[in-house]
Structure formats: C-alpha cells, structure tokens
Amino acid sequence: MSRANNRIQILCDHLQTNNTSANFHQTTLDTPFIAYDKFEEIKVSIKDDVKVAILQFNRPKQMNTFSFKMANEMVTALKQLDTEKNVHCIIITGDDRSFSCGADLKELGEMDFKKMYPYGNAVDKIGQIATISKPVIGAVAGLALGGGCETALLCDIVIAGEKARFALPEIKIGTIPGAGGTQRLTRAVGKSKAMEMILTGRMITAQEALASGIASQVVPTDKVLETALKLATEIASLSNPISKLAKEAVDHAYESSLNEGLHLERKLFISTFKYPDRKEGMDAFKEKRKPNWSNEL
C-alpha cells in the first residue's frame, strides 16, 4: 500500500472508530420522508412538510466513490427534483466516513485514452449539478476527495463536520481533476491555495475549508445533516421563484465580470416585480404579518 493510500486508510479508520453517531443519517431520514426506490447507488428522499429533498450517495463499501452508474443516477435524480413542485431545496450527502472519495478507480483504471475519450461525458456528469436551479446544500461529514470535493464545490452551501476532509489528490495517481476542480477551487480559495492543494494533493481539514471559503459552517459530525436540514428548511420556507433568481445572480457573480454581474442583477431585480410573491412579501411587511408565499411564476 502506498504512503498516500495508507494515510487515507488510517484517516478512514480514525473516522470510523471515533464516529459518535454512526446511524445519524438513518435516524434523520426516518418518516415523514418518502423514499424513491428506482435508484440503486443513491437514495433520494423528500420531506414534504418542509419541501426539502435529500440525495444520499449509497456506495458505503466503496467509500461512495463515483461509478458511471452513480453519476448517472445522481444527475437523473437532481434533474427530477428540480422539477418537483414540493421540493424547494436539495441536500446532497454521503455518510459519516465519506461524502465521496471521487472516481471509482476500478472503473477508471481500466480506461485508456481511446476508451476514455468517448466516455468523457461521464466525468462531466458531476458538473451538471451546476445546472440545477434550486438551492443545493452539501452536507459533508467525512472525506470529500477528488470528484467528491468537486461535488462539494458545486453545491451552493457546504456544511462540514468537524472530521470532514477535502482534497483533490488526482496528481498522486498521475492525472489532474477533471470535473471542474482546477477552476472552481481556484475561484473559491484563490490561486495560491488552489495550487498548493492541487500540486500536492494534500488534504485540508474542515476548519481550513471554513477559513478558505469552501465551507460556510463547521459543526459536530452528528449535527451535519441536522444543520443542513435546518438551513434547507429555512430556505425552502421562502419564495421558491425568488430563491432561484437570487441563486442565478450569485452564480453569475462567481462566473463573470463585475459589470456583467451588476447588469444581470439589475435585470433580475426588476423581474421580481412581475411575481406575485414580490407583492405578497412587501404587503406582508407593511401589514406586519408573515408572508403567504404562492410560489407562482
């Protein structure tokens, strides 16, 4: 076993041995969640009373590594949830040991250039998280490595557990990040920090992720999903059409120049005045009552 793999295994064992809430996902995903049963490598549940969906990676023996099948199921589920009227916010999570440890090297290791080139779109599947219009929260309790880290970077908000670890270690296996890691990490943490992480492949702690801007909160491991659900519930309780516009504006700031972003923000701000929820929100404020959002377009 290589030194890098040995360090990862030691860390995995440490997380497993010191796990304070091994079943926190199972207990939190209890009723009133309604589970879909058409997926095999992910679990999808909807909590109707608060309009929140949870997508959980379900390859625990493989440290939730991305097979081509899991990537396809994830994208299929997310696109379906993006159209569900009773879903206003989505949480992506794994388990206490691993959010996701990236690509399944048993699959990827069999690829050569001729095989990989036509299958490159499978790697692009992770990037399709960026096309989801509803707010997406990453609940990261354990390891987020490679494609797992790239998935976290694609989430709108990341809640990290105290034992969470983030890394883009592809350079240690003779390749580079392929699902947006070099681009999104640089935008999140700056060039110097991104270069350090990508050129060494080293892990950073949850506290480092918080300081670097990858995560918005660090909480105890057994509070990760609970915290994400509380935040998702708060977001989902507001107007869904307006939340989508706010997300679009922030995403544009992330991907464009300041002038372009300001131009789009102005257009989106003006466009809110055609929505019933804009009038309801302002009327409720004037009347000192709670808004009754219609979520109508």
DSSP H or E run through 16: helix 3-17
Kindly list the distances between the CA atom of residue 50 and the CA atoms of 124, 231, 236, in Å, as whole numbers in the listed order: 31, 11, 7
Cβ atoms of 140 and 159 within 8 Å: the answer is yes
Which candidate in 161, 170, 206, 236 is catalytic?
A: 170
Burial environment of residue 27 by CB neighbours within 10 A (0 to 12, 13 to 18, 19 or more): exposed
Name residues whose C-beta falls within 8 Å of residue 38's C-beta, 6 or more positions apart in sequence: none
Which candidate in 144, 150, 164, 180 is catalytic?
A: 150
Based on the residue annotation, tell me whether 170 is a catalytic residue of this protein: yes
Name residues whose C-beta falls within 8 Å of residue 159's C-beta, 6 or more positions apart in sequence: 137, 138, 139, 140, 215, 216, 217, 219, 224, 227, 228, 231
Which candidate in 103, 152, 164, 228 is catalytic?
A: 103
Gyration radius from the chain CA atoms: 20
- Any idea which residue has 């700056």 for tokens? 190
Rounded Cα–Cα distance for residues 96 and 53 (Å): 19
Based on the residue annotation, tell me whether 147 is a catalytic residue of this protein: yes
Helices and strands in the chain, H and E counts:
14, 11
Rounded Cα–Cα distance for residues 276 and 278 (Å): 5
Which candidate in 94, 147, 180, 181 is catalytic?
A: 147
Report the DSSP beta bridge partners of residue 52.
47, 89
Cβ atoms of 224 and 159 within 8 Å: the answer is yes
Rounded Cα–Cα distance for residues 64 and 294 (Å): 38
Point out the residues that are catalytic: 103, 147, 150, 170
